[in-house]
A and B are shown apart, each in its own frame.
Chain A
Amino acid sequence: MKKLMIGNAALARGLYEAGCSLISSYPGTPSTEITEEFAKFDDTYCEWAPNEKVATETAFGASLRGKRSACCMKHVGLNVAADPLFTMSYTGVNAGMVICVADDPGMHSSQNEQDSRHYAVAAKVPMLEPADSQEALDFAKIAYEISEQFDTPVFIKMCTRVAHSQSIVETGERIEAEKVYEKNPRKYIMAPANAIARHPFVEERTAKLTEYAESSAVNSVEKGDGSHDFGIITSSTSYQYVKEVFGDSVSVLKLGMVNPLPVKLIRDFASDNKTVYVIEELDPIIETHCKSIGVNVIGKEKFSILGEFSQKTIAKAFGLAEKENVSLDTAIPVRPPMMCAGCPHRGMYYVLAKNKITVLGDIGCYTLGSMPPLNALDMTLCMGASVSGIHGFNKAGGSETEHKTVCVIGDSTFMHSGVTGLINIAYNQSNSTVIILDNSITGMTGHQQNPTTGLNIKGDPAGKVNLESLCRSVGINSVRVVDPYNLEECEKAVLEELAKDEPSVIISRRPCVLLKYVKPKKPLHINKDKCRGCKRCMKFGCPAISFRDGHAVIDNTLCIGCGVCAGLCPFDAFESEVE
């Protein structure tokens, strides 16, 4: 059947058709939908794990037992999963195992622009890179074949434009695949003696995979029509941009497998073309390989190491005419993303900003608290770094910082890697105040369940971590829960906990307003007779409140009636509609 599918859905379909029986993942844009789509199949197992390391090891366990498995993550998630990755390269697999990783060139929703291909090279694990949805589906099947034939986990690398672009896909039927588990300590116990014996296998495997790369159909040469004396080596979405600009006129070596890279295939392609360009987003992985095998290519000197490409990037680099367009003289104000109207995080941030508290932040919707007018954050690094970071900050700053510094972390991020930082605070006793912004969901990635929500990926009842008990059990004695819609309560809690000479946790708890079970109230309105135009409410940064003709105005298509703004107004100008 032919269907329009995003790359991630097609990849999920491909994994399913290839007989994948288990997926364990942690959400992260642009990888999230692979797992969400796979969860829609009834005859397989699928879960959200607390983090990518756990997910990867879970998938490894399933492979060991004899079922084809996968784990999915964004590029930075692979950093978390790197520990099992490097040693799984040595153990290899029993049933096939696929690691799906999605890069985000252009950083649409990420904190860095790292290139996951480095991991494939460093861990000596093969990596396939589809260029559209159909290839995502097809490559999933090829990945399992490679995995079992060569005894290795296999990467499928997506990028934002492949993951989130829909193109036409022909779907097929599922096959069942299962292997027997047999005890094999020399393969699966990576103690030094076994690992030493296993390392040569890894090197031999890479040599065999290079042979595979020379002749496999995943790498292909498309002959041009002779109108150009140059050829292009490319992969992934860059291939689509090349085809958009040149059609079938130029010779292209399309690499579907980006690790290991072929040698003879590249040398032959280079000898057939006077000049060879390498067009790849982010780092010069293919280019460096070409140069290392003595093939002279033009790459990053012409195509940026930064950001995403497009057909314009290619056309411009080759000096082709720019397309005529329209430009306006008026400057258009930027529209950055922001916390939603009624977002429970806003109340806590307002209190922190008002009291000029130093705030070490973390990864999630609440990173948006850094935006004006709240400007509430001082630092955001990676998942969990707020909690570990404040410990170091206060150990270094002592009494100068510990009474005026907090860290903020979401419920899902706390489960991911905040709890280990909290254990360090409790163990090594820093006088740190940790605020868990518990909105009962993984928000930014589009509402995924997590260990604190009591529901699993399918929305069915599941185990539930009690945050208060968890924090107390690791050794934090001062744990309290506040409602971020109650500004007075929040302010009291923050100031009291900061004043204490012991570590403490404040759980700021209210569900995300976008959750279906959170029913909006009627919008508030402004009593213009009472509003004196003092603009105090404008410091709150709610997108539903703006200022026109000397008065505050409420956009009733955005306001959900949370009423927090009403408490800020010294003149009681915010009024609720009589219900």
Chain B
Amino acid sequence: MATKNIMIVGVGGQGSLLASKLLGRLLVDEGFDVKVSEVHGMSQRGGSVVTYVRFGDRVCSPVIEEGEADFIVSFEKIEAARYISNLRKDGTVIVNTQQIDPMPVIIGNAVYPENILDEMTGKGVHVDAIDALELASQAGSAKACNIVLMGRLAKYFDIPYEKWEFAIEKCVKPSFIDINKEAFRLGYYS
């Protein structure tokens, strides 16, 4: 199988680590060669963060370059736009509609682009936008946004639902399994 590429992007502190851990676990269990690459350190402090997940028969590079991503899963609206050049021509963006103002916007040096998702759609991008924060809150924790988005991503794969649930059980603390399974379900079926 040709290598598939998923980018997980968001704001430092939003929980992309758990999302990539879940994907990694699942894809290794499915027998793929897998590479997951992320950057630690300074960028985690509220900055823009990106994780690359690549899987297939044989994966060499740990990073995803321009025009290579099959999916961009974005925890925040403009973060999807920031990395759009990495999306392949007919790729899919799964995006949480939450808006988090970056500091230049907060202090009035820049404007938050309001209609960015429409512009993406206009450029032929398949945009799958959901209010993951609301769905996560319904599931019992605003922090479960990451798993809501994984639920949405799962719809695009042939991997059985139970395998995703199994990966959730292996990746989250026992006391959070139920909340995360519900968050996953809401993302999947919304």
Q: Which residue of chain A lies nearest to B14 when distances are taken between CB atoms in the complex? A: A557
Q: When the two chains form their complex, are residues B39 and A164 in contact, meaning their CB atoms are under 8 A apart? A: yes
Asked whether A323 is an interface residue with its Cβ less than 8 Å from the other chain, the reply is yes
The count of residues in chain B whose C-beta lies closer than 8 Å to any C-beta of chain A is: 64
Which residue of B59, B79, B142 contacts A335 across the interface (Cβ within 8 Å)?
B79
Main secondary structure, interface of A, reads: loop
- Quick check: which of A93-101, A283-291, A538-546 contacts chain B, the rest being far away? A538-546
B28:A337 contact, CB within 8 angstroms: no
CA gap between A192 and B89 in the complex, in Å: 67
- A interface footprint on B24-64 (CB within 8 Å = 1, 0 otherwise): 11001000011111111111111110000000000111110
Choice from A4, A164, A240, A333 contacting B38 with Cβ under 8 Å? A164
Given contacts A326-B89, A332-B113, A541-B103, contact A161 B37 (CB under 8 A): yes
Kindly supply a per-residue 1/0 record for chain A positions 497-528, scoring 1 wherever the CB is within 8 Å of any chain B CB and 0 otherwise: 00000000000000000000000000000000
- How far, in angstroms, from A237 to B60 measured CA to CA in the complex? 9
User: Quick one: closest A residue to B20, CB to CB?
Assistant: A166
* B contact residues around A547 at 8 Å (CB): 106, 108
> Is residue A80 contacting chain B, with contact meaning CB distance below 8 A?
no
> Would you call A326 and B24 a contact (CB within 8 A)?
no
Verify B123–A328 contact, CB threshold 8 A: yes
Given known A-B contacts A164-B40, A167-B62, A310-B61, A338 and B81 have beta carbons under 8 A apart: no
Assess the B81–A160 pair: CB atoms within 8 A. no
Among A108, A334, A445, A547, the most chain B Cβ lie within 10 Å of the Cβ of A334
> Are A340 and B89 in contact, with the CB atoms below 8 A?
no
Stretch of B65-73, B147-155, B158-166 at the chain-chain interface: B65-73
B43/A109 in contact, CB under 8 A: yes
Interface residues in A237-285 by Cβ distance below 8 A to B read 237, 240-241, 243-244
B39 touches A310 (CB 8 A): no
Report the nearest A residue to B89, measured CB to CB. Answer: A324
Binds B, one of A45-53, A365-373, A406-414, A460-468: A365-373
B41 touches A30 (CB 8 A): yes
CA of A291 to CA of B65, assembled, Å: 32
Taking a contact as CB atoms under 8 Å apart, the answer to whether A337 and B35 are in contact is no
Residues of B within 8 A of A323 (CB): 65-68, 88
New A-B pairs, 6, CB < 8 Å, besides A164-B37, A445-B41: A109-B42, A161-B37, A168-B28, A326-B87, A365-B45, A367-B42
| Chain A residues with a Cβ under 8 A of chain B | 2-4, 29-30, 32-33, 108-109, 132, 160-161, 164-168, 237, 240-241, 243-244, 310-312, 322-340, 365, 367-368, 371-373, 444-446, 535, 538, 541, 543, 545-547, 555, 557
Taking Cβ atoms with an 8 Å cutoff, the residues of B that contact A are 11-13, 24-25, 28, 33-48, 59-63, 65-68, 78-79, 81-82, 84-89, 91, 100-113, 116, 119-120, 123-125, 133, 142
Q: What are 14 A-B residue pairs whose CB atoms fall within 8 Å in the complex? A: A109-B43, A240-B61, A325-B84, A326-B85, A328-B119, A332-B116, A335-B11, A335-B48, A335-B102, A336-B103, A336-B104, A339-B46, A367-B42, A541-B106
